Structure 1
Amino acid sequence: MSSLTIVVIGGGAAGFFGAITAAETFPNARVTILEKNRTVLNKVRISGGGRCNVTHACFDNRQLVKHYPRGEKPLRSLLTQFDATATVNWFEERGVPLKTEADGRMFPSTNTSDTIVDCLLTTARRLGIQIRTSCGVAEIRRSESSDWTVHLLTGETISANRVLIATGGYPQLASYGWLPEPAESIIPPVPSLFTFNIPDSPFLSLAGVAVPDAKVYVVGTKQEQRGPLLLTHWGFSGPVILRLSAWAARDLADANYRFTLRVNWVPTLNENELRTTLQNFRQQNGRKQVISQNPLGLPSRLWQALASEVDIPETQRWADLPAKPLNKLIERLTNSQFQVVGKSTFKDEFVTCGGIMFDSLNVQTLESKAQPGLFFAGEVLDVDGITGGFNFQSAWTTGYVAGLNIGV
């Protein structure tokens, strides 16, 4: 089809991957990327602290999909077309080898996101893809002369046979209003991947202290996670908090981000085991001060703060520690409770739970059932992963699948 015209709306990871795949698959097509901002690939540029966490070294797709609070089932099917192994190979074939860190995150070996940005830009330009910035889209309409007319905010119109929507997630349902997709196919968006604001936390002065292993619970729900926790000057962050915010995104939105968070600082021990550990330590270290001798491997500043919270004096020796403060300390270690009042965005990485329902699309092609010729990819879909490269992987996967099928 020599006259095929494809317009990709959104110059991010999914948009570029979709455009590149479309141009490679349908070499006679004219492909244009429209980006409302002055620059493209902005999220790619800032992600991973400017290093770009491209994907995760999880090459078993059955395990990979377990890192997505939303979208697990459709991703299972989509990953058969383009998975993490394919992502690694794709970049390596274009001169961008990736390296794996201890936690499984994969970055360009250059350690800078510029390498990924340059690779995508260079590939797009080599394929003749037109990249237009400062091009916000007002609406898309079916037209008689071609399949679609894209109306820009400037008043300009662009004709297209196929359109790929890869605009990323929106914070509010009203923001999806310009799409021709039926309203019932859009799941109202709420934030995912955020940190917790705890203004009354007794640990605000401990900002920067990291706890390698903690278990956290949203009281009144079944939502719980375990992993590294970071104390901040506004509350809590770290991988375990981000995972909890993702899996509990709907529950926390319903609670207006006001809820009780329970923390177990020593999840490897139950209450009886903890009591036995402390009693044994007490017998062997009776002359030592409680506040300076921590038998549990917790950061010393956190241990001191927990001991101070239950009114254990700095001069208190283990041998003379009364039963009441010991019981309080055990309670704090296993069942600290905090009142969360609001959230904060994690490192400018805005991720949403919600978007276009997969049920409204052909899950093998990502084409709209109601609007043939209209495709979707990336975070505009109702798919989101936890941190660690999973959101970029879904962008590469959905962009690839849409691009592969958009000219058929």
Structure 2
Amino acid sequence: MQETWRWFGPNDPISLEKIRQAGATGIVTSLHHIPTGQAWTEAEVTKRKQEIERAGLQWAVVESIPLHNDIKLRTGNYIAQIENYKQSIRAVGAAGVHTVCYNFMPVVDWTRTNLSYRLANNAQALRFEMTDFAAYDIHILQRPGALQSYSPEVIARAEERFAAMSEEEKALLEKNIIAGLPGGEGSYDREGVRAAIEAFIQLGEERFRENLILFLEEVIPVAEEAGINMCIHPDDPPFSLFGLPRVVSTADDARIIFKRVPSPNNGLTLCAGSFGARGDNDLVAIAREFGPQVHFVHLRNVKREADGSFYESDHLDGDNDMVGLMSALLDEENRRKREGRSDWQIPMRPDHGHLLADEIGQPGVNPGYSYLGRLKGLAELRGVLVALETIRNRNI
């Protein structure tokens, strides 16, 4: 597998030099300065690619070309937005980058309630706490119908939690949920998020899923021509938030996407932490079933709780079978080699990382994207890869 690293461009506090020192060879990045919905140009893509290559690295994956809400809702100027997306794909392909990760999450991108959850060793992790999320939804956002989204037990805990919150805690919780996290597609104020939520709820799950299929039917033929592997990222977390429709949360969801738009260029970002946040998703089985269409992998682990809460654990110490998943992915790479596929190597990145040591309290560290935490995660994952490959070579 190709070891890659997410980089947020020239303003990222972690330089390309530091990434190369971490041992990664591929960069996962985007053109973050271009607003969502605006077409990328070949000149802009080439400029970023050359910057990466001057540092001795390869631009391995675009993560991501974000989708405008007009496309997801098929409202407003969505036809022009889709045409802009096609132009962006062509520009990426012309520059020689061949993998594009994207998501189809409504309103909120990846969502956490606590960005500095303290672990037993005093490191800090990202956490999604269902009680806190419900407290925000019911008592702060005051979304119509919110009470119907939670069990009586969660509602009771949320009421108690809200009553104990200071104004500062309420403001921080709202910021964590709706103000946008690194790599997300924007932020909202309270009134804006209410309006956006209502639009998607009115759309409903089946129509939302159909909008995804209609988008892919337009875009995948362009990706085929441009030599681009499109890989959709699962919902994070993989269940409904704010009563919103979710259409990339389970293996069944993936089956529908690949059945409706059959193409080797229509693929999956296998995010272990996203799929793995629900216990009924078997990561190893997902990797084996959809292996030919896995174009990119996020390796991250979680500790799950019964009510849907979870926190991001050490990469090799969680509820997900990381070793089994990586073994299945290596099997897929070997299968591709036998087929003679030029894209046999699957790019992976250590997804998120704990805040450790001197980085704790430092300004400017992107939540989940610390240097030391990801360096630790990449080293652990690299050790698993070396061990698995050594065992395979000895058994040949």
TM over 0.5: no
For the pair shown, which has the larger CA radius of gyration, 1 or 2? 1
**TM bucket, shorter chain:** under 0.3
* Greater RCO, CA 8 A, separation 6+: 1
Which is richer in strand? 1
TM-score scaled by structure 2?
Answer: 0.21
